Amino acid sequence: MAVRSIPTGDIDLASTLASLAILAQDPTVRLSPGRFDRATTTPEGPGSIIVTWADGEAGARVATAGDGAGWLADRAPALLGCEDDVRGFDPPAPPLRDLWRRHRGDRIARTATLWHDLACFIVQQRVSRTDAAAHWRRLVIALGTPAPGLPGLVAPPDPATVARLSYHDLHRHGIERQRADNLLHAARAAARLQHLVDGDVDRALPHLRAVRGIGPWTASCIATSTWGEQDAVIVGDDGIPSMVAWLLARERRAGDERMLELLEPHRPHRYRVVRLAFLGGVRPPRRHPRAARTDIRRR
């Protein structure tokens, strides 16, 4: 197991890394006070990263294990948000100004784990987060690899393993035909796309969008997580436009066009505004009941 210390300054690691643990009971990640564990798949094989820190200290201890240990260690500073530049972000008016004052330590993590992120976001396409979490957990536990040095966690199955599957193999985990096909296409493209992760996101996005099943929503999610792009805007989402509109204009409902209009003055920090809305629990009043959940495993 390789161990190194990384200076983090005033970064709030709990807030920064929480964005990678949004699915309930995700078997690839574990976040607790002062510690973050993640099992993932790298171009060099499965790997684990363990980040520990103490309140009041301006640094973190990072340990990596497995075949991908060196690859993860090289990219650990970006994962901790050390490469996210917040200079120039100074919202002039409440409530955004107040949110930034409360969450000034939040940074955008850059994972560089393209296949892990792609697989997870594709599983989340067009289903509730509750259902997505269940489907992701079944898939990873059934097909993944025990995390090196992290008992209880599982790394996602590598893309070559998924590429050999059929729709029926994924259906048993609750993943219907459309998402299954999208996942298979992404798995078959992952190897040729991986080299893009250490480059510029604008160069990578056209290649991602050329893969069947990677539409605007998935590509923009990947831009924010895999590349840690501070100016990316997640489009095609049911809730984010209205959340942003409520934060910035107290408008109850909005679509992508209105969201982009409201975010335009905040370039090049548009995704940071979205993160602050999430961190602040910003939600417009709900008018409609939640959609019914559907379990397709018995179909």
Range from 53-67, 110-124, 276-290 carrying the lowest mean pLDDT: 276-290
pLDDT (mean) for 29-56: 97
pLDDT (mean) for 288-298: 50
Exposed, middle or buried by CB within 10 Å (0-12, 13-18, 19+), for 10?
exposed
Give the model confidence (pLDDT) of 165-222 as tens digits.
999 999 999 999 999 999 999 999 999 999 999 999 999 999 999 999 999 999 999 9
Residue 126 clears pLDDT 50, i.e. is over it: yes
Residue 93 clears pLDDT 60, i.e. is over it: yes
| Triad 96, 105, 79: Cα angle to 5° | 120
Range from 80-84, 167-171, 293-297 carrying the lowest mean pLDDT: 293-297
Residue 299 clears pLDDT 50, i.e. is over it: no
Give the model's pLDDT for residue 2: 81
Encode burial over 101-125: b for 16+ CB neighbours within 10 A, e otherwise: eebebbbbbbbbbbbbbbbbbbbbb
Residue 294 clears pLDDT 80, i.e. is over it: no
Q: Map tokens 């509109």 to a residue.
A: 245
Exposed, middle or buried by CB within 10 Å (0-12, 13-18, 19+), for 88?
exposed
Residue 148 clears pLDDT 70, i.e. is over it: yes
Give the model's pLDDT for residue 290: 54
Strand partners for 4: 62
The stretches of the chain forming alpha helices (DSSP H) are: 13-18, 69-74, 76-79, 96-102, 114-123, 129-143, 159-163, 167-171, 177-193, 201-209, 216-225, 240-249, 256-263, 270-279
Give the model's pLDDT for residue 297: 42
pLDDT (mean) for 227-256: 97
Predicted confidence band at 55 (pLDDT cuts at 50, 70, 90)?
Answer: confident
Give the model's pLDDT for residue 1: 82
Of 164, 181, 174, whose CA–CA distance to 122 is shortest? 181
pLDDT (mean) for 113-130: 97
- In whole angstroms, give the CA distance from residue 42 to residue 63: 16
Top pLDDT among 2 and 89 is at: 89
pLDDT (mean) for 5-32: 97
Give the model's pLDDT for residue 287: 66
Query: Do you know the residue count of the chain?
Result: 299
Predicted confidence band at 104 (pLDDT cuts at 50, 70, 90)?
Answer: very high
Residue 118 clears pLDDT 90, i.e. is over it: yes
Domains of the chain in start order, with CATH, are 2-86 (3.30.310.20)
Torsion region of 273: left, alpha or beta (phi above 0 gives left; psi -120 to 50 gives alpha): alpha
Using an 8 Å Cβ cutoff, are 122 and 104 in contact?
Answer: no
Mean pLDDT value across the chain: 94
Predicted confidence band at 296 (pLDDT cuts at 50, 70, 90)?
Answer: very low
| Triad 53, 71, 66: Cα angle to 5° | 80
